[in-house]
């Protein structure tokens, strides 16, 4: 009971009563969340303001759009001014503008509350979270800040080079660089270009570029493959499956 008072929870489907008005719903929630009578009105108004519900406060919940329903759910979770706010997939089913608004809102809430955000949308995590826990089949496989998780994968970071020309010449150029740890060459079917994926011990991209151009190759692409959380997620969870 004590714990429940300190938690605000927004399930995946916001728990709303479609036939109540927004304000009646929040009033009901405030009663069962034990918000004392003298603070109730203020708490409701604050939650409405934080969630941006001012214009629909007198509307019946059933008539609201998905985005507003999500906000009502969020207002409900915020109502008791909880220390911990648990949000389960808060942006599912929203249009892009609503998603941005909700994420902005969550980011702002981070200042006052501890927000636990559960989601499958990894860019969302990159944008909003300070700490990531990846859980695969009930086990924690990684727990760190997004930046650290990315850094952890740097060891196997690869550089992609796309050129045209012939494979033997290309191999000759590449073998001139001791910094290249390993490389795989692949012919792209759509334009007969060669795509090389190399692992570098140091960042010598500018030297590779110059060498290739001096040998008469046309350089189309030279990029460092940046790992997103999605790659990290795949990496961690597939490793787990293999083991």
Partner 1 sequence: MKKTLAIFQKELKHFFYSPIAYIVIAAFTVIAGIFFYLYLSSFVEAAFMAMIRAQQFHQPQPKFNVNLQVIRPYFWNLALISLFILPLVTMRLYSEEKRAGTVELLYTSPIQVWQLVLGKFLAGLVFYIIMLLPTVVFMALLFIYGNPEIGPVISGYIGLILLGAAFISGGLFISSMTENQIIAAVAGFGFSLFLWIIGWAANFSGPGLAGLLNYLSIINHFEDFAQGVIDTKHVFYYLLFVTLGVYFTMKSVDSVKWKA
Residue 15 binds partner 1, judged by CB under 8 A = yes
Closest CB to partner 1 among 20 and 141?
Answer: 20
Query: What's the chain's length in residues?
Result: 243
| 154 Cβ contact list (under 8 Å, min separation 6) | 227
Classify 95 as helix, strand or coil: coil
Residue 33 binds partner 1, judged by CB under 8 A = yes
Phi, psi of 128 (to 5 degrees): -110, -20
Using the rule CB under 8 A, give the single segment among 9-17, 48-56, 176-184, 214-222 that binds partner 1.
9-17
Residue 210 binds partner 1, judged by CB under 8 A = no
Residue 83 binds partner 1, judged by CB under 8 A = no
Residue 41 binds partner 1, judged by CB under 8 A = no
From 53, 97, 98, select the one nearest 73 (Cα to Cα): 53
Residue 209 binds partner 1, judged by CB under 8 A = no
Closest CB to partner 1 among 37 and 155?
Answer: 37
Cβ(69)–Cβ(16) under 8 Å? Answer: yes
From 152, 179, 169, 160, select the one nearest 214 (Cα to Cα): 169
Which residue from 11, 52, 110, 165 is in contact with partner 1, where contact means CB under 8 A? 11
Which residue from 70, 76, 159, 183 is in contact with partner 1, where contact means CB under 8 A? 76
Q: Name the one residue in this structure whose structure tokens are 């290249």.
A: 180
Residue 58 binds partner 1, judged by CB under 8 A = no
Report the 10 Å Cβ neighbour count for 19.
Answer: 10
Judged by the rule CB under 8 A, the positions of this chain that interact with partner 1 are: 1-2, 4-5, 7, 9, 11, 13-20, 24, 28-29, 31-34, 76
């Amino acid at each position: 009971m004590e714990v429940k008072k300190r938690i605000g929870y927004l399930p995946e489907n916001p728990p709303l009563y479609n036939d109540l008005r927004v304000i009646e719903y929040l009033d009901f929630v405030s009663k069962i969340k034990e918000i004392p009578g003298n603070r109730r009105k203020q708490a409701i108004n604050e939650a409405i303001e934080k969630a941006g519900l001012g214009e629909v406060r007198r509307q019946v919940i059933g008539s609201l759009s998905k985005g507003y329903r999500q906000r009502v759910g969020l207002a409900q979770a915020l109502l008791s001014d909880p220390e911990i706010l648990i949000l389960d997939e808060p942006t599912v089913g929203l249009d892009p503008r609503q998603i941005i608004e909700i994420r902005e809102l969550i980011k702002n809430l981070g200042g006052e509350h501890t927000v636990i955000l559960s989601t499958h949308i990894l860019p969302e995590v990159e944008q909003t979270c300070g700490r990531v826990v990846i859980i695969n089949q009930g086990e924690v496989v990684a727990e760190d800040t997004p930046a650290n998780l990315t850094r952890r994968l740097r060891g196997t970071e690869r550089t992609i080079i796309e050129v045209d020309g012939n494979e033997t010449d290309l191999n000759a150029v590449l073998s001139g660089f001791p910094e290249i740890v390993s490389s795989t060459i692949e012919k792209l079917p759509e334009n007969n270009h060669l795509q090389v994926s190399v692992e570098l011990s140091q960042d010598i991209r500018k030297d590779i570029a110059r060498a290739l151009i001096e040998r008469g190759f046309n350089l189309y692409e030279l990029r460092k493959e940046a790992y997103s959380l999605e790659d990290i997620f795949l990496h961690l969870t597939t490793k787990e499956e293999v083991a």
